[in-house]
Structure 1
Amino acid sequence: MREENQSSTMDFTLLGVTGQKKQEDFFFALFLFIYPVTLIGNMLIIMAILYNTHLHNPMYFLLANLSLVDILLSCVAIPKTLVNHLLGSKTISFGGCLAQMYFMIALGNTDSYILAAMAIDRAVAISRPLHYTTIMSPRSCVLLVVGSWVVGNANSLPHTLLTARLSFCGNKAVANFYCDITPLLQLSCSDIHFNVKMMYLGAGIFSVPLLCILISYVRVAFTVLQVPSNKGIRKAFSTCGSHLTVVALYYGTVMGMYFRPLSSYSLKDAVITVMYMTITPMLNPFIYSLRNQDMKTALVKLFHHRLSLEKRHKR
């Protein structure tokens, strides 16, 4: 009980991305640019989908939810990092540290399952177009999204509860710009054997959506290869290209960070998390809007709608 009380009242020190003053100034400026761009970009995607009835279909419903997750994910660490830099502080409370870890894991898992749902949607649209509206019904889409949130939070909760029970006796310097499970386990003076087992179990659960994505695109490739016309092949790959780009960015950084031994983690690996936590959520709206003519049209209509409302108010 005494150890738990000590843990609940102590503060951790966030070392940042590199721990070097000049480099931290650079990342502060980078985050100061990334954060509003991420919020605005993803909000525009959501608003464009809401206001344009032509985009009220499963593909864009899932995209809107992906944008929502990206907004929340960017809010987990960046605001605290910016505030700490401005105040000249590096501290975070034990409760705040656990909260960051919980939401990072929960939102990261939710993101991966929504990406899997989007892959399933594309696979059904290409391989079974006549049954698309039946399989990807509104009820099915809602269940996919709700299931993504439930699994994401269910996977995060055990890690957070187990970490909350650990003792931290000496060094409390977290080798990252936010509280992540890997550097926290390295700092603990408790037995982390069970925590590590749960972490690898979580990595296995995290691999399930990737497996779904791979199976979906194998099905897509098999269907496309049976299409005799080059036009059909180009159309199929154009609808999947944006999603594949996002998947490659997302899983490339996540696997580089978490799919390896705990002992190999160090502060230099925090640079990888910058891509996962900040760059990828910022790039997603650009990837989907620049490669998607329907989204471009919807965004133009949204801007025109906004301008017309402003003109009416001025009159």
Structure 2
Amino acid sequence: MEHIGQNSPLGNHTALVEFILIGFSDVPNLQGFLFGIFLIIYIVILTGNTLIIMITKVDPSLQIPMYFFLQNFSFLEMCYVSVTVPRLLADLCRQNRSISFVTCAFQMDIFVSLGSTECLILTAMAYDRYVAICNPLMYPVIMNNRLCIQLAASCWITGILVPIGLTYNVFSSPFCKSNELNHFFCDVPPVVQLACGDTLMIETLIYVIATLNITVPFVLILGSYVNIISTIMKLPSATGRAKAFSTCSSHLMVVTLFFGSGIIVYMEPKSSHSSGMDKYLSLFYSILIPMFNPIIYCLRNKDVTVALRKFLQKVNVP
């Protein structure tokens, strides 16, 4: 364990300069099995999202705003899992699981940035569905190329900039407790738990960012879907209602899974945090949900399914 001397209002203590990621070392007999499982999941995520990006770019029937946002979402998902999974796979193969402060801070900032961007992209996708179903005649005018690009750029820029202050405040705090993180990556809650002294400002900042990047987008998405469902229920044709629902169901499933686990982890009071539970919840929203997303969008969206079938037939043609 590497330390440096440091004085603080708490008195003399040794401050940590690196963490040890416990990960899944508490189940040593399952290291090989877990490596295989996570490697397969990682390959599925990369392959599935790459296919979605390719077919939505080449298929003429998918050149509409909904699939432009889906392209952004799929690329984001590949980046999102690549922040945590390669490190997890490496740690499952070695004894030394130490991670420096700089690397830990970088991983946390990128992970939170991409998570924030995902919340905003999902909100933009909900707005797209809202306009398409509640105001279909004006849809081509409202959701023009310029607005789509502006919305996507705003999501990426905002998502990247917002967590910088949080990361700075977290790693400006002294760390004088155990340097063992009961986690498989540098997520915010387990790192803050190791900080010394008064962490009220950091916890307040976490709640503010979580409210702005998780709760507010979630409320906006719910508002969009209240209007969407209200409009769909007024459609006279059962076939029309089924078709309208089918264009929203995949997005709604992804929103429920991602926001549900994110709200539990980031909005839960620190006093009730369980590091073990946080680890498995993080596993759920950082790895498992990204694996389900391309499957959900392919199986629940008929347009994507048809386009994928045509794409695979072209690939297999000699």
Query: Residue type of the partner of 2:224?
Result: S
Residue 173 in structure 1 maps to residue 180 in structure 2: yes
Question: Would you say 1:34 and 2:41 are equivalent positions?
Answer: yes
Matches of 1:260 and 1:89 in 2, distance apart? 31
Distance in 2 separating the partners of 1:181 and 1:25:
28
Code of the aligned partner of 1:100: Q
Q: Distance in 1 between matches of 2:95 and 2:310?
A: 44
How far apart are the structure 1 equivalents of 2:35 and 2:272?
26
1:285 to 280, 287, 294: 294
Letter in 2 for 1:261: P
Partner of 1:66: 73
> Structure 1 residues 42 and 118 mapped into 2: Cα distance closer, same or farther (>3 Å)?
same
Would you say 1:241 and 2:249 are equivalent positions?
yes
Deviations 1:39-94 (A, max 9, x none): 11111100111111221110000011110111001001110111122122221111
Counterpart pick for 1:216 among 224, 233, 242: 224
CA distance in 1, matches of 2:18, 2:152: 36
| Aligned partner (choices 131, 137, 153) of residue 124 of structure 1 | 131
Structure 2 partner of 1:83: 90
Residue 156 of structure 2 is aligned to residue 149 of structure 1: yes
Distance 1:265 1:25, change over 3 A: farther
Distance of 2:36 and 2:64 partners within structure 1: 38
Match of 1:302 among 279, 291, 311: 311
**Comparing 146-155 with 26-35, which one deviates more in the overlay?**
26-35
> Offset of 1:254 from its aligned partner?
1.1
Distance apart, 1:23 and its partner CA = 4.9
Q: RMSD of the TM alignment (CA)?
A: 1.9
1:18 Cα deviation after fit: 7.2
Note the C-alpha offset of 1:268: 1.8
**Secondary structure of the residue that 2:99 maps to in structure 1?**
strand
Contact map agreement 1:172 1:187 (CA 8 A) in 2: yes
Higher helix share: 1
The residue number in structure 2 matching 1:225 is: 233
Q: Deviations over 1:134-170 (max 9, x none)?
A: 1111111111111111221122111111122111123
Asked if residue 193 in structure 1 is aligned to residue 197 in structure 2, the reply is no
Residue pair 1:13, 1:91 contacting (<8 A) in 2 also? yes
Identify the structure with bigger relative contact order (alpha carbons < 8 Å, sequence gap 6+). 1
Match of 2:210 among 197, 200, 203: 203
Q: Secondary structure at the match of 2:92?
A: helix
Equivalent in the alignment of 1:256: 264
- Which deviates further from its counterpart, 203-212 or 13-22? 13-22
Counterpart contact for 1:17–1:271, Cα < 8 Å: no
Provide the residue aligned with 2:21 in structure 1: 14
Identity fraction in percent = 37
CA contact (8 A) 1:69 1:107 kept: yes
Q: Which consecutive residues of structure 2, in runs of 5 or more, have no partner in the other structure?
A: 8-13
8 Å CA contact retained: 2:206, 2:266:
no
- The CA deviation at 1:225 is 2.1
Unaligned 5+ residue runs, structure 1?
none
Q: Return 23-32 or 100-109, whichever deviates more.
A: 23-32
| CA drift at 1:232 | 1.7
SS of the aligned residue for 1:12 comes to strand
What is the count of residue pairs matched by the alignment?
307
Bigger shift: residues 249-258 or 174-183: 249-258
Contact 1:175 / 1:266 at 8 angstroms: preserved in 2? no
Q: Deviations over 1:26-46 (max 9, x none)?
A: 433321211111111111100
Note the C-alpha offset of 1:256.
Answer: 2.1
Residue number among 246, 266, 281 corresponding to 2:274 in the alignment: 266
8 Å CA contact retained: 1:250, 1:276: yes
1:2 offset after TM fit, Å?
Answer: 6.9
**2:11 corresponding residue in structure 1:** none
Which position in structure 2 is the counterpart of 1:98?
105
